[in-house]
Structure 1
Amino acid sequence: MDAFPLQEPSVTSLLILLSFLLTLNLSRVFFDTFLCAGIIGELIVGMIYGTPLLNLLGGDWQTAFQALGYLGLISIVFEGGLRTDIQLAKKNIGLSTCIAAVGIIFPICISILLLHVAFGYTVLQGFAAGAALSSTSLGTTFSILSGANMSKTRMGTALVSAALIDDIIGLILAQTVHGLGDHHVSLAWTISRPLLASFVLLLVTWFLLRFLFVPHTARLFHFARVPKPYNEWIATVILFSTLVFFLAASSYGGTSNLLGAFLAGISISMVESSLKTDETDKEIILPSHVFDRVLLPLQELVLAPLFFATIGFAVPIRKMFQGTVLWRGLVYTFLMLFAKFVSSLCLVAWHHLENKYRPNALPQSETQTREEQLEASCIFPVLIVGFSMVTRGEIGLLIANLAYPGTLDQDLFIITVWAVLLCTIVGPLVVGVIVKRSPPLGKWA
């Protein structure tokens, strides 16, 4: 064909699409109101309208919505970078690394023990399933923290950094699992390339910000006399150019494009923060203003709901209630909840180390003893971090699909999906119940 023919969609198609978008937003409002976990409603709507249940959308629309939904995920992660307190993140990088490491090692080890020893699968199959369950949904983590207004707390910053590290390691594990069945690809290169690419991208970003953009942007901003009508146009170009550059660099480099989106947000935030307050108070439009005014409403009403609905598209719900698969899936889910929640105990260890080596870090209270203060500043942050890390989401399903059917057979694939799905539901659900009580975060605020 020389061109794609223009055709008017049928009334049935329009009604299905409109009802799908409307139901997505209504379900989010409903679950947010009662459980503070709107993504659960969007996931359920995705299963109903998608292939798993009624298949009202068909294959073409689901493919289109997957692409748009992934743009929503990129937008969520970009916003996370834009809102991140970089100084706070640097101060807590040790804690974040500890949480991420425990959250990766425990699920893989427990998965191998259960599936190999108890269920009779091979060690390789146990590793592949554990790799899927070692991930943390970065997009869901950002949504949970934003909905609870905790994204700029010490706890939230450490949690986001840990989820980002998990995402990078998850990409490496995904490519490793995928490469296990391809004997023509070097396994060493499969594992090392994403890690090396992530390190190089981080190093180049730091160098550009430290020596080029942050020192000189304020001077350029001061001398560039741009007419007011062009301010928004220039800010829009800068916003999208930065995002496209980092997405291209990360994707072609072999690392996660979510890391690229996150670094794009951080880069814009750091450059804007280098401008003096009096320079930004003259009704100047910055890239972050464009995001808040134009992209954020689109993300919240369309793109983000589509992303969480596409997770529902990928759940084979019809095959998940067979006897053996069902009970094994539930057992596996329980152990994977425990395996990921263990990572939150890093806060307890970090808390006691700070108490030992920095005894004056926590201010005294007239109404509480020091022991009561120490206990109060750990309970709720541990629960929030633990159940936020429990959420697997898109990366877990991606790894499971890459391993099926080459490494995972159908039963083990469904068992793995059971664990990913239930963890993705339980995590936001429990965190939503906790944050409705306005918990005290203590030293982690």
Structure 2
Amino acid sequence: MGSPGGPGGRGYGVRCLRPNSHPSDAITEAKTENRRASLPIMVGNCDFRIGVSKCNALHEVASRPVFRHHQRRHNTFQSSLSSRQFEVQFFNASNTLDSMPETTYEAPSVPTLLTLSSFLYLNSAASSLFDRLIHANLLGPLFVGIIYGPQVANILPSDALTTFINVGYIGLLLIVFEAGLTTDLSLLVANIALSVVTALTGIMFPIGFSFFLLYFGFGYTVLEAFAAGASLSSTSLGTTLALLPTRMRRTRVGAVLMSAALLDDIVGLVIAAIIVQLAANGSTGMVPWYVIVRPILVSLAFAGGVPALAYLVRAVVPEALLRRPSFRAPPAQLLLLVAVLSGIVAGANYAGTSELFGAYLAGIFLSILFEAVAPTSDSDSASSVVTPAGVHPTLEAYEVLLTPVQNRLLAPLFFASVGVALPIRSLGRVEGSSAVVWKGIVFSILMVLCKAVVGVWMLIWPDAAGGRGWFGSRRGPSPRHEDYEDRTQSEKDARKSRRWSAALLGMAMIPRGEIALIVAQLARPLLSPEGEGDSEPFAVVIWAILVTTVGGALGIGFMLGKRAF
């Protein structure tokens, strides 16, 4: 018997043109309009199996080596189990089921090594440089990705692009996971209503104003206007969290910002599903109710179920185990981190909600699990047990083992992959017209304002302490004269802090980034007349994505740099 695929190691596929056999021949007649079946085989006197694609049924005998011999005569194939014949077409099929290609180890060429190594190094170097100069480290890798990508220099090989995009997405998941791990749950729950209002405002304004500008102003169709606004309705969770320091995440504005951005991501998932339905069916297509309801219900179930499960596990697991030094050591915590993060992210995705939301909940889960036994550094008791690092054990493992890789490799790769995916060639001229430039700039400014306006809610909404709202704190009993000046100065500082928080909230909601790119690509059949290629509506959306991402990152970096967090 020769090797699979014959002496040359290559296989042949056989395509049945008129399958009309009996089930004993291993193929049940297809009940679909497409009546063709693919039959990968091995050449020579060796066994082979039949695989049927695009058919409703396949007889179970197909899983056994039922064809012992075959003959190729005048493009016919004769089974050894019956005399029935099939008219077939033989073709070279190196990728069929029974002719798996061999993988050989070959040293990459020197140009490939130099290209990949320079890309990785420049990502890290540009991130550090932009962080030092303008406190916006993500912009460096973003520009490196644009330059190396297919739209500008086209330096990176296509297979490397796919790999970097996939690895970079791991960096995004870790960014969101860290945010969940460092979240103050009490602060998050106390401001959940403000977060919902902020998120809904940031979603409805871009869609509504996009419709008025693009439909009434630029003359686009209703579907094009809706698709453009929908693409720009979600905030880039990765951009916002990457620029937000850990200390800021434990403040009121940080809690509101993170939860509002997460709600944006969930709603973005619903919008993406609606876009897919509209792209497939056009304006006459009806969007099934479950497309809208399922992500919302699943997200609510995960939001309540994951924290509840964490409290249940903490109640069941003996506290002595959670306090055991070997269990709290970074290697053990890293194993637990990977298991919990992988499980919840996969569960969230398969259940129908956002995997980024799952990553955030994974951080919440581990934060709750070790909350009671986590060492504290701000206790007044001299007998408090404090580990050398003085931090949450999972957070300590993350900072010791993952943060160096995250900051130098994974996070820069993620932002570089966003730059790689930006189709910036269409920004200057589309269909022979440069009108896309001024239209893109006008639309970008509008999209900046539509998100920046959400910061007003921080001024209007009263906080839990003192009920401070638009007009400051509520009046209580008249203060004593000697306390008046101190109180006046305190209120001035509070109003100044609230204005800064409102400005930061509005600025941090501006970047669109990866979420907008995903939705825009899904909406491309609606934004392009032919469903492919460049069109003015699609180019206008890309303009807005680029301007909001870069401008928002610059604004956040400037504000945090001045605040010196």
TM-score normalised by the chain length of structure 2: 0.72
CA-to-partner distance for each residue in 1:366-393, whole Å, 9 max, x for gaps? 2844663453122211221111100101
Residues 269-348 of structure 1 aligned to structure 2 (within 5 Å): 269-275=367-373, 277=375, 281=387, 286-322=393-429, 323-348=434-459
Give the Cα–Cα distance (whole angstroms) in 2 for the partners of residues 181 and 169 of structure 1: 18
Give the Cα–Cα distance (whole angstroms) in 2 for the partners of residues 319 and 197 of structure 1: 38
Give the Cα–Cα distance (whole angstroms) in 1 for the partners of residues 385 and 317 of structure 2: 12
Give the Cα–Cα distance (whole angstroms) in 1 for the partners of residues 475 and 341 of structure 2: 42
Percent identity, aligned pairs only?
A: 36
Query: Is the Cα–Cα contact under 8 Å of residues 391 and 423 in structure 1 kept in the other structure?
Result: yes
- SS of equivalent residue, structure 2 residue 248: coil
Q: What is aligned with 2:272?
A: 174
Query: Is the Cα–Cα contact under 8 Å of residues 180 and 187 in structure 1 kept in the other structure?
Result: no
Q: Say whether 1:151 aligns with 2:249.
A: yes
Query: Is the Cα–Cα contact under 8 Å of residues 268 and 288 in structure 1 kept in the other structure?
Result: no
CA-to-partner distance for each residue in 1:66-92, whole Å, 9 max, x for gaps? 000100000100011011111111111
Give the Cα–Cα distance (whole angstroms) in 2 for the partners of residues 119 and 288 of structure 1: 50
Uncovered stretches (5+) of structure 1, i.e. residues with no partner: 441-445
Give the Cα–Cα distance (whole angstroms) in 1 for the partners of residues 310 and 327 of structure 2: 28
Give the Cα–Cα distance (whole angstroms) in 2 for the partners of residues 432 and 339 of structure 1: 20
Question: Which of the pair is proportionally richer in helix?
Answer: 1
- SS of equivalent residue, structure 1 residue 143: helix
Give the Cα–Cα distance (whole angstroms) in 2 for the partners of residues 286 and 32 of structure 1: 28
Give the Cα–Cα distance (whole angstroms) in 2 for the partners of residues 94 and 80 of structure 1: 20
Q: How many residues align?
A: 435
- SS of equivalent residue, structure 1 residue 273: coil
- Pick 1 or 2: higher relative contact order, CA cutoff 8 A, min separation 6: 1
Q: What is aligned with 2:468?
A: 354
Q: What is aligned with 1:36?
A: 135
Q: What is aligned with 1:399?
A: 519
Query: Is the Cα–Cα contact under 8 Å of residues 197 and 253 in structure 1 kept in the other structure?
Result: yes
Query: Is the Cα–Cα contact under 8 Å of residues 389 and 396 in structure 2 kept in the other structure?
Result: no
* Corresponding residue to 1:216 among 316, 322, 331: 316
Q: What is aligned with 1:411?
A: 536
Q: CA deviation at 1:56?
A: 0.6
Query: Is the Cα–Cα contact under 8 Å of residues 380 and 439 in structure 1 kept in the other structure?
Result: no
Question: Which of the pair is proportionally richer in strand?
Answer: 2
Query: Is the Cα–Cα contact under 8 Å of residues 307 and 364 in structure 2 kept in the other structure?
Result: no
Q: What is aligned with 2:45?
A: none
Aligned-residue RMSD, C-alpha: 2.6
Distance 1:217 1:317, change over 3 A: same
Q: What is aligned with 2:302?
A: 201
Residues 130-141 of structure 1 aligned to structure 2 (within 5 Å): 130-141=229-240
Distance 1:369 1:286, change over 3 A: closer
Q: What is aligned with 1:65?
A: 164
- SS of equivalent residue, structure 1 residue 325: helix
Q: CA deviation at 1:316?
A: 1.4
Q: CA deviation at 1:294?
A: 1.1
Q: What is aligned with 1:234?
A: 332
Query: Is the Cα–Cα contact under 8 Å of residues 151 and 157 in structure 1 kept in the other structure?
Result: yes
Q: What is aligned with 1:244?
A: 342
Q: CA deviation at 1:358?
A: 6.0
Query: Is the Cα–Cα contact under 8 Å of residues 89 and 161 in structure 1 kept in the other structure?
Result: yes
Give the Cα–Cα distance (whole angstroms) in 2 for the partners of residues 80 and 288 of structure 1: 11
CA-to-partner distance for each residue in 1:173-222, whole Å, 9 max, x for gaps? 11111121334885312111211111121222132123x12323453526
Give the Cα–Cα distance (whole angstroms) in 1 for the partners of residues 491 and 335 of structure 2: 53
Q: What is aligned with 2:555?
A: 430
Distance 1:98 1:225, change over 3 A: closer
Q: What is aligned with 1:52?
A: 151
Q: CA deviation at 1:301?
A: 0.5
TM-score normalised by the chain length of structure 1: 0.91
CA-to-partner distance for each residue in 1:13-72, whole Å, 9 max, x for gaps? 111111111111221122112211111111110000111101111211110000001000
Q: Say whether 1:20 aligns with 2:119.
A: yes
Q: Say whether 1:386 aligns with 2:506.
A: yes
- SS of equivalent residue, structure 2 residue 245: helix
Larger mean Cα displacement after TM superposition, 23-32 or 132-141: 23-32
Give the Cα–Cα distance (whole angstroms) in 2 for the partners of residues 424 and 217 of structure 1: 44
Give the Cα–Cα distance (whole angstroms) in 2 for the partners of residues 220 and 116 of structure 1: 64
